[in-house]
Amino acid sequence: MSAQLISGKEVAASVLSELKPRIETLKKRGVVPGLAAVLVGDDPASATYVNSKVKACKKLELHSEVVKKPQTLSQEELIEIVTSLNRNQQIHGILVQSPLPKQIDELAVTLTILPEKDVDGFHPHNVGLMMIGRPCLLPCTPHGIIKLLEYYQIDPAGREVVIVGRSNIVGKPLAAMLMQKARMADATVTVAHSRSRNLTEITRRADILIAAVGRPRMITADMVKSGAVVIDVGVNRVEDSSAKKGYRLVGDVDFDNCLEKASYISPVPGGVGPMTIAMLMSNTVTAAENISESLP
């Protein structure tokens, strides 16, 4: 029996639909939520991500700006750009697209963004609030994963969740969110990674297995407990001469074989990816609401 597919496109559409009345309420008060994306260099994947964010803003009739700068941009120049966006009253959310050139300290840039405009949820102020379970702008991909579980009524409470991957963008924040004493949380969380010993034994314990390690098809069927929920965060390019572009996208999960083992599974593409954009839009609207309410 094949697993039920978890459609990120369907859930993202639901999230965006719920934002529309909030956006209309803001507009009646003279506030149009605004998002600024800063793109440094000419990385094709980064450009694609930024274009997706611009399209999402346009669809929701949000204000959006893209600041494109060459690979040679200095850290001081980038910080000046961010500082200017901090002062810009039309901008409620700021994101600086990663990866950045080697001459730029990403943490220094992140620290420059006002926490109330940190729609990526990467500023230590927001990370700290997330850790103690207080309201804040949450990282988009982890929050999107929780929204997927919520939509499909997969409650993690009391379940064993294994996250394979310990990045600051997905693995660590997702673990913190799922272990909170809160709705759509209360899970028993294990964070594993590529260097974990006996990884297969660890993953086979999981009621909910989340792969976010960045290695094509690393999670094979023998690593999945029968009936487990499998969420694939990975997006990897693999060569494929039969594909028009010469490559295709695959996840961290061996999808075809795990499809017969899991109860639910998210595909790549079309799973977690659309949720990241949807939650960025959600954070932008939330930031606009918070900032406008704080004004005299």
Catalytic residue annotation: 53, 97, 120
Distance in angstroms (rounded) separating the CA atoms of residues 289 and 167? 30
Q: Which residues of 237-250 are buried (b: 16+ CB within 10 A; e: fewer)?
A: eeeeeeeeeeeebb
Element (H, E) at 176: helix 171-178
> Are residues 30 and 296 in contact, defined by beta-carbon separation less than 8 angstroms?
no
| DSSP secondary structure string for all residues of 69-100 | E-TT--HHHHHHHHHHHHH-TT--EEEEPSPP
Residue 243: partners with Cβ closer than 8 Å, 6 or more residues away: none
Q: State the helix-helix crossing angle for 171-178 and 124-131, rounded to 10 degrees.
A: 30
> Are residues 281 and 56 in contact, defined by beta-carbon separation less than 8 angstroms?
yes
Q: State the helix-helix crossing angle for 8-28 and 272-294, rounded to 10 degrees.
A: 20
Closest to 121 in 3D by CA, of 164, 163, 178, 174 = 174
